[in-house]
Amino acid sequence: MIVTLIIICEVGFWVLLAGGLSLRYLARMPRTGAAVLLLEPLLELVLLIATAVDLKNGAQADIKHGLAAIYIGFSVALGHRTVKWVDARFAHRFAGGPPPVKPPRYGTARTVYEWRTAGRWILAALIAIGLLQAAAWYVGDPAQTTSLRGWQSRMLWLIGINLVIATSYTIWPKRAPAMERTDERGHSLTGGGR
């Protein structure tokens, strides 16, 4: 049941996103579109409650409960950014909005961008670790929470990978080619191709 609910929540996220943006830009109903977009956090709440009920009813904590915690963590930390990313592209494509801003390519601006990206992924992993720990405490039997501990280890690896990537941009910042000039944010001034 939990795996099915995770799939329903993921499909629901994209359906609500498409519906909200369609109402906002195509139907010219920005308030209604915003209201639909605000329904998205309810999906995570439903999944959290269903997972807690499943554990309370005696289900052994296993991979599906770990997946639910990770899905919720990533939705909380990355969901808003995903909505903004899709919104900018939808507005540009269907409502004559400005082109989406591309991430900086070089220098300090690129380093800052990489640290912000890493920060969002690290936050997602930390939320997942916290939810996994809460589930382990809720179950109370270490023998039944081995799977949850395994997911926590994977989240620690994810944190480490993001720290390595961001640190690499700090130590070895990507530099613009000699012929290409950039502004202080790392965006090209010469119009060079990507």
Q: What is the mean pLDDT of residues 17-28?
A: 94
Q: Is the pLDDT of residue 118 over 50?
A: yes
pLDDT greater than 90 at residue 178: no
Provide the mean pLDDT of the chain.
89
pLDDT mean over 103-124: 96
Q: What is the pLDDT of residue 193?
A: 44
Averaged over 64-72, what is the pLDDT? Answer: 92
**What local confidence, expressed as pLDDT, does residue 99 receive?**
94
Total-model pTM: 0.83
Long-range contacts of 101-106, Cβ-Cβ distance < 8 Å, separation of 24 or more: 102/187, 102/194, 104/182, 104/185, 104/186, 104/187, 105/174, 105/176, 105/182, 105/186, 105/187, 105/188, 105/194, 106/173, 106/174, 106/175, 106/176, 106/182, 106/186
Split at pLDDT 50, 70, 90, the class of 194 is: very low
